[in-house]
Amino acid sequence: MSDKVIFLVDIQSFYASIEKVDHPEFNDKPVIVSGDPERRSGVVLAACPLAKKWGVNNAERLWEAQQKCPHAIIVRPRMQRYLDVSIQITNILNQFTDLVEIFSIDEQFLDVTASVRLFGDPLSIAQNIRNTVMNTIGISARVGIGSNKVLAKMACDNFAKTNKNGVFQLDVENIQQDLWPLPVGKMFGVGSKMNHHLRRMGIRTIGHLANFPLDLLEKRWGMNGQVLWQTANGIDYSPVTVKTLDQQKAIGHHMTLPKDYERIQDIKVVLLELSEEVARRSRLKLYMGSTISVGVRGASFNFPNGFHRQLKLDSPTNYGMDIFYSAYQLFQKHWDGSPIRSIGITLSQLQPANNYQLNLFDSQLKKENLNKALDFVYAKYGPAALIHASSLTNAGQAFHRAEKIGGHYK
C-alpha cells in the first residue's frame, strides 16, 4: 500500500452548526435547517445532534421531522453564509498543506504526506486541525485518516463521526478488524439499490464483498464491479488534486416545484427557464455542450415515477433556445401526462466555447452576439434582469430562483 497520509475533514451538522454559532440562543435547543415548507420544499437539510437524538434524519420531509421533535427550531437555509464559512475552512486547511481537494461544501480531502515533518504525526495534525477550526469558527470538525481517499472517507463516515475525539485512522492493519464487519451498505459507493443487489447475492458485510470472487463482480457490473471490490479492500489510486472543480463534465440545474405541475403549457415555462439558466452557467464557465438531458420526478412520494432521457445535438451549444428546443422535444416524447414534482436539465459532453466546429446551416454568430448582450445585462443586474414573458405567468419561477444559491435561499 501507499505511504501517503490522506485526510477527509468533515464538519458536523454543517448548516445547523453555523446557525448555532450565529444564534447562541439556539445552543441548548434542537435545530433543523430546512427548505421553505410553504413552497413544498420542506426537506431536512441538516439537523443538529440534539435533533438527531429525537430521531430526525437528513433528507426526510420536514413534517415528519416535526412529528418526531415538535419543539425543534426550524431555520431556513442561508447558502451564501454557508459558502463563506466553507471557504474559510479551506483557508484554514491550506495552512497545513497545499493539497486540499473540495469534495463538497462540508467535506474536503487533504494530502498531508509532506506535512508530517512540519506538524507531527497524523493524529497530532488531525487534532490540530480540529482545534483550529473550533477556535476560529466555533464548529466541530471530524477527521478520517487513511493511506488513500477511499479509506479516509470510510474512516470519517463510519468511525470518526461517532468517536468522542472525532478522529479515526483506517489502514491495512485494521481494515479487516474494523471495516470488514460493517454492513455492506455502510461502504462508500454503495447506495440503497446496490445494497439490495449485493444482499441478494449473499454479500451482507464489507468483508463478504472484499473476499467475493472479482471475476463474478466484473461479469455482473463490469468496471463498477472492480471498483466495488477495490473499495472493500481499501484500494484507491486517485490522487488528492486541487483541480477537481476544473474538471467539470456537465452543467445542469434542477428545480423542485412549489406545486404539482400538470399542464404542458406550465411545464414548458419551467423548461424554458431552466434552459436559459443552464446556458448562462455554461457561458460563464466558457463551455459548450453536445448532449441535453432531461430528468423528471413524479408527484407521488409513495409511488415515485418519472424519467431521465438524453439527446445528442448536431453541434455543441450554449444558447438557451437551442437547449430548450431539445429539452422540450425530450419531455414531450417521454412524459406520460402524470403530475410532476421536480424537473432538471443538464448540458454534457462539454468542450471549450472558444474552439468548435462551425455549422454552415446554423447562425452561430448571431447567437454569440445575443449571448454577449444577455450576459452583459446578467452580470450588471442579476439573472432575473431579462426574462421571457412566459415567466410572468403563475407557472414562472425565475424571480423566485434568483433569490437562491444551489436551490436554497442565500
Read off the pLDDT band of 84 (50, 70, 90): very high
> Which CATH topology does 248-409 take?
Dna Ligase; domain 1 (3.30.1490)
Q: What does the block give as the cell for 380?
A: 450588471
pLDDT in tens, 4-27: 999 999 999 999 999 999 999 998
- The correct answer on CATH 3.40.50.720 for the domain covering 1-170 is no
Minimum mean pLDDT range among 84-93, 206-215, 249-258, 295-304: 295-304
Read off the pLDDT band of 43 (50, 70, 90): confident
pLDDT in tens, 356-410: 555 555 566 677 777 777 777 777 777 676 777 777 777 767 666 655 555 555 5
CA distance 283 to 165: 45
For 160, phi and psi rounded to 5 degrees? -60, -35
CA distance 21 to 38: 26
What confidence score (pLDDT) does residue 373 get?
Answer: 79
CA distance 262 to 296: 12
The strands making up 287-298's β-sheet, listed across from edge to edge, are 250-261, 340-352, 287-298, 306-317
Read off the pLDDT band of 1 (50, 70, 90): very low
54-63, 143-152, 307-316: range with highest mean pLDDT: 143-152
The answer to whether the 177-232 and 248-409 domains have the same CATH topology is: no
pLDDT in tens, 94-152: 999 999 999 989 999 999 999 999 999 999 999 999 999 999 999 999 999 999 999 99
Average pLDDT, the chain: 87
Mean pLDDT value across residues 175-195: 94
What confidence score (pLDDT) does residue 267 get?
Answer: 93
pLDDT in tens, 207-242: 999 999 999 999 999 999 999 999 999 999 999 988
30 Cβ contact list (under 8 Å, min separation 6): 47, 48, 50, 51, 53, 54, 56, 69, 71, 72, 73
Residues shown for the chain: 410
Please indicate if the annotation marks 10 as binding a ligand: yes
What confidence score (pLDDT) does residue 253 get?
Answer: 86
Choice among 19, 101, 107, 276 that is catalytic: 107
What confidence score (pLDDT) does residue 73 get?
Answer: 94
HSE of 262 in the Cβ direction (CA atoms, 13 Å)? Answer: 3
Is residue 25 flagged as an active site residue?
no
Which CATH superfamily hosts domain 177-232? 5' to 3' exonuclease, C-terminal subdomain (1.10.150.20)
Per domain, the residue ranges of the chain are 1-170, 177-232, 248-409
